[in-house]
Amino acid sequence: MKKMFSKFLLLVAGVLLFSGCEDDIVNSELQLDLTKTGAVEVYLFANLNAQELGLQPVPNGVKVLFTVNYSQFNPNATTGRWSHVGEVNNGVVRLESVPSRESGVVLQIIPESFVYEQVQAYNAPSATLKKLFHASPVNVSVYPDQTSFREINYSFSDLGTPALIVSRAWQGTSIFNLISGQQGYIPQGTQLTLFNENWTTTVSVQQNGRFSAEVPYGQSFTLRFTAFMTELNNEGMEVQRLYRYTATAGPYYEDSPAAHPLFFSFQLWE
C-alpha cells in the first residue's frame, strides 16, 4: 500500500506548514476595495509511480498557500496581504473568490512539500522508496469574473536513512500571545517537522509541550511548526495571525529519555 506523509517543511527545503483553510484579511486604516473577485484553478502533478508513463495527480490533502499583496489594491498599503490555504482534491485546488481589480492582480501560489512512498520501476530492489516532493512558488494573474488556470509539476529527491540514530526528547516552549508576552508550552497535538538536508520526520506534541523522536546520530537539524499567535491589530483589536516557529537541535551522540528544554523563535507566516 502506498503511504503519503504530508510534511510542513521550509519552502526551500520542503516545509510549508500551512494551517486552516479560511481567508485571513487583517483590516487596516487604509481603504482597500476587495469586492471584485475572480477564480483560480490549480492542477498539481508529481511522479508518484515509476511504473506508469507521465505524472500522477498530487495526493489529496497536500496544502497550497495563496497570497495577494495589499499594495496591489492601494500603493500606500506597504504591508499586509490577503491569504488563503487550500487542500488538493483529486489533484486540483480551486478558489472561487480571489480579491482582484479591473486591471488584474498577481496571485502567488506556494505549494507544500510532502514525502511519499514512490512506486519504483519493475524489478527494482525495493517496491517503494520514500521521496521528498517539492515545487517552487509560481504566480498567476487573476481578473474579476474570470477563472485563471495554472499547472504545477513537482520535482523529487531522495531521503537518506541515517545509518545510526539516537532517541531524544524535548519540552518545547515559545510565545503564543504577544499581548501578554508570556511563554507557554507548544499546544498538544501540534505537528512538528524535524529535518536537515539528508533526513526528515514528523512528530506530534504531547502534554506540556513534550515530544520525542529518533534523530540522526551526530547531526544537527531544524524543528518547525506553525501556530496562531494572539496580538493586537492596527486598530487595537485582538486578532489571531499565523506564525511559523523554528528551533535547531543537535548534534546528539547518545540516547536520553530526559526532556530537554527547547525554545522556538517565531515570525509572521501569513
pLDDT tens digits, 260-269: 999 999 999 8
Amino acid (one-letter) located at 160: G
Q: Are residues 152 and 172 in the same domain?
A: no
Q: Are residues 120 and 188 in the same domain?
A: no
d(CA 41, CA 4): 23
Q: Are residues 48 and 180 in the same domain?
A: no
Residue closest to 92 by CA, chosen among 53, 131, 150, 136: 150
Q: Which of 126, 158, 190 is the endpoint of a domain? A: 158
- Give the phi and the psi of residue 70 in degrees, each rounded to 5: -60, -25
Q: Are residues 21 and 112 in the same domain?
A: yes
Q: Are residues 127 and 61 in the same domain?
A: yes
* pLDDT greater than 90 at residue 17: no
pTM for the whole structure? 0.55
Q: Which of 158, 188, 211 is the endpoint of a domain? A: 158
Specify the pLDDT at position 125.
65
- Give the phi and the psi of residue 259 in degrees, each rounded to 5: -80, 110
Q: Are residues 257 and 213 in the same domain?
A: yes
**Tell me, what CATH number does 249's domain have?**
2.60.40
Domain that holds residue 41: 4-158
Q: How confident is the model at residue 161 (pLDDT cuts 50, 70, 90)?
A: low
d(CA 195, CA 159): 10
**Tell me, what CATH number does 129's domain have?**
2.60.40.10
Q: Are residues 215 and 152 in the same domain?
A: no
Q: Are residues 74 and 172 in the same domain?
A: no
Q: Structurally, how many domains does the chain consist of?
A: 2
Q: Are residues 197 and 97 in the same domain?
A: no
Q: How confident is the model at residue 105 (pLDDT cuts 50, 70, 90)?
A: very high
Q: Are residues 145 and 72 in the same domain?
A: yes
Q: Which of 139, 158, 177 is the endpoint of a domain? A: 158
d(CA 226, CA 218): 27
Q: Which stretches of 113-177 are assigned E, i.e. beta strand?
A: 114-119, 128-134, 138-142, 147-153, 155-158, 165-175
Q: Are residues 148 and 190 in the same domain?
A: no
Q: Are residues 169 and 153 in the same domain?
A: no
Of all helices (H) and strands (E), which one includes residue 226?
strand 221-232
pLDDT tens digits, 37-74: 999 999 999 999 999 999 999 999 999 999 999 899 88
* pLDDT greater than 80 at residue 198: no
Specify the pLDDT at position 109.
95
